[in-house]
Amino acid sequence: MNLLDLNLIELENLLKENGFEKFRAKQIWDLIFKQGDWELKSQNNLPEKLINFIKEKTHIFPVKIKTEQKSKDGTIKWLVEVEGKKNVEMVYIPEERRNTLCISSQVGCTLNCKFCHTGTEIWKKNLSPAEIIGQVLLAKKQIGDFIKNSKTLTNIVFMGMGEPLLNYENVRKSCEILVDKNALDFSWKKITISTSGIVPNIIKMADEVKTSLAISFHAPNDELRTEIMPINKKYPIEMLLNACKNYIEKTKQMVTLEYVMLDGVNDSAEHAHELAQLTKRYKTKINLIPFNPWPGCEYKRTPMKKIKEFADIIENNNIGISIRKNRGNDILAACGQLQAAFQNGTVK
């Protein structure tokens, strides 16, 4: 059993069932989440019997760093080994006003979006809550957040490997623990779940998880979207946007439509007008992402001049729009790229 899979009440119950006092649960959480001491090495007030119980009957840390690469712009990318000797990616992006950690939710992905490298890999497994929370704790340790007792890390995004809403229960539970004030005390809106549009779980999320939501939108009509994202056949645009509307109404959180700019595919002025018309009635923002090419892919990045023209058309329709900065280009900081380089021996 992994202690990080348990919320506070579950941990309290586990301790009670094994003859320990309930309040010890908060002490254990304090060591793990506030002090970053998940090996329970520090001088602490826990009775020896309890420490032995934890060490013999449970384990706490399911992930470890395999490689670290630092970009000139401060971005750090880690390849993280999860249980079963499988690897996922995690990227830390420091900016002026926020510092964001991008984490993974699955090893591989089943959805085969054509522009995404992760989609070309075979799906291997869902990450457990412990493996998801473990990524955040590892990153905080690496950036010195526990030593300084600071909150350098301000935002978490589920934009690494995998489709979070196809690992719904584990992602929900990890968020529940991340926002707990006795754990890392994140606010819901500082956590963003990015999804290709698993509609039933977006509807479920509105009642259970109140994070910010990002939708991998990428095309302004069903024909094109189904071509580049096969999941659109099951959950087409109208259904998806209605689920977003419901999410905004219920949670009052922001929904952003991510739009990856693929040269000559979805980036014409007509596409921009179509996207503006489609999204005008919904209170969503649009985030344009310059495409990150990977070896063997069939797409190219739209030139920046054309991305700006596309953005202008959207803006002229009074829709909030931003263009994502490309970070960590020198360390292969694009979805699925470090993992691939590691497999083929480019990165040791």
Nearest to 37 by CA among 7, 3, 72, 6: 3
To ligand SAH, the closest distance from the beta carbon of 188 in angstroms equals 18
Which of ligand SAH, ligand SF4, none binds 62 (CB below 5-8 Å, type-dependent)? none
Among 69, 71, 118, 253, binds ligand SF4 (CB under 6 A): 118
Percentages of the chain per state (helix, strand, coil), in multiples of 5: 40, 20, 40
115 vs 123: CA distance, rounded Å: 16
Does 196 bind ligand SF4 (CB under 6 A)? Our answer is: yes
Does 260 bind ligand SAH (CB under 6 A)? Our answer is: yes
Q: Is 335 a catalytic residue?
A: yes
Q: Which residues contact 223 (CB under 8 A, 6 or more apart)?
A: none
Nearest CB to ligand SAH, comparing residues 50 and 237: 237
Are the C-beta atoms of 44 and 56 separated by less than 8 Å? Answer: no
Backbone angles phi, psi at 332, to 5 degrees: 55, 45
To ligand SAH, the closest distance from the beta carbon of 31 in angstroms equals 32
Neighbours of 9 (CB within 10 A): 10
Does 116 bind ligand SAH (CB under 6 A)? Our answer is: yes
Q: Which residues contact 209 (CB under 8 A, 6 or more apart)?
A: 171, 172, 175, 176, 188, 193
Query: Binding string to ligand SAH for residues 188 to 227, with x set by CB under 6 A, is what?
Result: ------xxx-------------------x-----------
Residue of 113, 175, 244, 335 with catalytic role: 335
Nearest CB to ligand SF4, comparing residues 38 and 232: 232
Size of the site for ligand SAH (CB under 6 A): 17
For the chain, how many residues are written?
A: 348
344 vs 28: CA distance, rounded Å: 41
Nearest CB to ligand SF4, comparing residues 17 and 223: 223
Q: Is 131 a catalytic residue?
A: no
338 vs 22: CA distance, rounded Å: 43
109 vs 63: CA distance, rounded Å: 19
Query: Binding string to ligand SF4 for residues 4 to 23, with x set by CB under 6 A, is what?
Result: --------------------
Among 119, 129, 134, 220, binds ligand SF4 (CB under 6 A): 119
Residues that bind ligand SF4 (CB under 6 A): 109, 111-113, 116, 118-119, 162-163, 196, 216
Q: Which residues are catalytic?
A: 89, 335
Residues that bind ligand SAH (CB under 6 A): 115-117, 159, 163, 194-196, 216, 258, 260, 289, 291-292, 294, 334-335
